Structure formats: C-alpha cells, structure tokens
Amino acid sequence: MSTDTRPRPGGGPAAGSPVLTVDRLNVVYRVEPEVRAVRDVSLTLHRGEILGLAGESGCGKTTLAYAVNRLHRPPAEVVSGAVTFHDRDGTDIDLLALDREELRRFRWAKLSMVFQGAMNALNPVISVRAQLEDVLTTHEPRMRRRARRARCAEVLELVGVDPARMDGFPHEFSGGMRQRVMIAMALLLEPQVVLMDEPTTALDVVVQRGILDEVLRLRDEMGYAVVLITHDLPLLLELSDRIAVMLDGEVVEYAAAEEVYRRPAHAYTRRLLGSFPSLTGDRGAFVRSGAPADPSADPAPGGHDDHA
C-alpha cells in the first residue's frame, strides 16, 4: 500500500443525492453500568460516495454500522434517532421501523455489508457456488438455476475470482480470495449502499491494495455508495470522498477528505494524523490527551476538547 496519504486529486465521483441519512442516533448497551456506545451521531451518505469512518478500536464504529443495518442484538439497543434510506424510486424507508420480513427483503437487496473478519465467515463445508446461490434463492426465488449460476459467475469475475473455481470450497482459497468472494456476495443483488467494516483486516498490504482497487473500480462501474470503516486514517484519506472521525461514540470531525488532511479541525484528528509514519519524517507517537472517556457517563459540558 502506498505510503503517500494525500487524498487523490478529485476524489470519487461528484456527490449525488442522499441515499442514507443517520440523524442523532444513540445506541446503548444495557449492562451495568449502562454504556453509551453511539452518541448523537448524524451523517449523510450520497450516491456514489465513499464515506470513511475512522477512529481507534472501541470508539463505536462497528456498533454504528450494526445499528444502521439493524444487526445489533441485546444488550445493544437503539434508544433514539433515525436511520432513513432514500431509495432510487423516491421512497424514503425508515429502517428502524421495518418488521422482520421487511428487513429480510431489504438487506442485501438495498443495503449490504462486508463484515470484519469476513474472509473467515464462509461455511467451510459448503461450496462457494452454493453459498452465493443461497442469497439469490432467498431474495429472487423465481430466478432459474441457470440464471443464478450465471449471476454468481458474473460477480466473481467482477471481483477478480475465476468463475471456474466456483465449485471449490473456502479452505481451497487464499485469504484474499475469500475476502473477494465475500465482496462478491455483498454485490450479488446490486445494492445501493455497501457497508465495509475493516474489509482488509489480516491481509498483507499487497492483497489489501488489490482488493481496495477493485472496490473503487466497481464503485465507479456500478454506482453504489460505500461506508468504509477502519482505524487506518491514511487509507481513508486516499480512498474516501468524505471522512467522519469518531471518538468515544461521537463524531468529532466530519468533512471532505482533502479538508481533513490539510486543515484538521479537531485535536484528536491531528493526533491521529501525526501518529502515522511519512516518507520524509520520523513516526510520531500517538498520545491521547487524558484517559478514555467513561462510556457509561454523559459527556462533559462542551464535549471533547477541540484544541491542540
């Protein structure tokens, strides 16, 4: 992966209309004491956009993604806020109000997710073809067998996997190839939004680059929007159109990637940027000011310190 963390000139395609809106979302874990994992988060994802979600482990990135996709389970609970999907046909869908059957039809077809550690999520005793076809059988029950197989071959080819290997088993694939299969599964039904939670974790940097280049290429071809979640801020600076930086469950900075790189407004963002090595200087040590916030407590008046 390149060590040049500057945003690419021009970024992605020009932002289209909103496709997903998160408005003042709050998620708590009903434990003792109660943990406020996501605090008043508001974000807007536009069509064709890559929105980077950055922050250290435990800041609430994955909890936010699970809440948006209604994948959270007790003791996690959305206590307030709204998540709205703006469909291509002009319909606004309140994701938090969908019943189980409506949610089943919505997922993968409109919004899909590539999970953290997804390359290990495939069933080791079922062929790749069968696992891909299962998505189509569930969501497109009238699709003929030959059409299902053709669609599976098509998406595998899109992500750089030889369709001739479709009848193989996951253990016969490298980690990078399994990750590509998971991305293919997420794209099977041509969703309008793809959530990617640390999609290249545990892969070497060369394989990471290949997979992320494919994600960008497919975004340009298919027009889906991406929420890319990672602790790797330099990577997000290179790939994203806009970036949201999370700290202790809150979004403390939300701006265009170029703006975050050249004029970071929050002290935490500046410290994140300063903690990565450059080609011309020494690596800086990441030093967080003070101890991590108590997630069971309300934020102090005035919120997080935004001064260096």
Omega within 30 of 0 (cis) for the link into 170: no
Half-sphere exposure (Cβ direction) of 112: Cα atoms closer than 13 Å: 18
β-pairing, 50-54 vs 76-86, is unpaired
For residue range 249-279, what is the model confidence (pLDDT) as tens digits? 999 999 999 999 999 999 999 998 888 666 5
* Residue 7 tokens, joined: 């945003």
Give the start-to-end residue ranges of the domains of the chain. Answer: 16-110+192-297+304-308, 118-190
Is the distance from CB of 37 to CB of 30 less than 8 angstroms?
Answer: no
Assign 146 a pLDDT band (cuts: 50, 70, 90): very high
List for the chain the helix, strand, coil content (%; round to 5): 35, 25, 45
**Confidence at residue 228, expressed as pLDDT on a 0 to 100 scale:** 96
Please give the structure tokens belonging to residue 92.
Answer: 């606004």
Which residue intervals of the chain are DSSP H helices?
Answer: 61-68, 100-106, 128-139, 145-158, 175-187, 205-222, 233-239, 257-262, 267-274
Cβ contact 41:48 at 8 Å = no
Q: CA-based angle 294:308:3, to the nearest 5?
A: 95
**Which pLDDT score, from 0 to 100, does residue 121 have?**
82
Q: How, if at all, do strands 111-114 and 35-46 pair?
A: unpaired
Binned at pLDDT 50, 70 and 90, residue 117 comes out as confident
SS3 206: helix
Report pTM. 0.84
188, two tokens: 């099977």
Average pLDDT over residues 77-93: 97
End-to-end CA distance of the chain: 30
What pLDDT, on a 0 to 100 scale, did the predictor assign at position 224? 95
Is residue 305's pLDDT more than 80? no
Q: Which residue has the higher pLDDT, 277 or 35?
A: 35
Question: Angle CA(299)–CA(302)–CA(306) in degrees, nearest 5?
Answer: 100
CA separation for the pair 277, 153 (Å, rounded): 41
| pLDDT value for 307 | 39
pLDDT for 205-256, tens place per residue? 888 888 888 888 999 989 999 999 988 888 899 999 999 999 999 999 999 9
Averaged over 59-72, what is the pLDDT?
95
Q: Which of 114, 126, 73, 70 is nearest to 93 (CA)?
A: 70
What's the CATH fold of domain 16-110+192-297+304-308? Rossmann fold (3.40.50)
Would you state the pLDDT for residue 308?
38
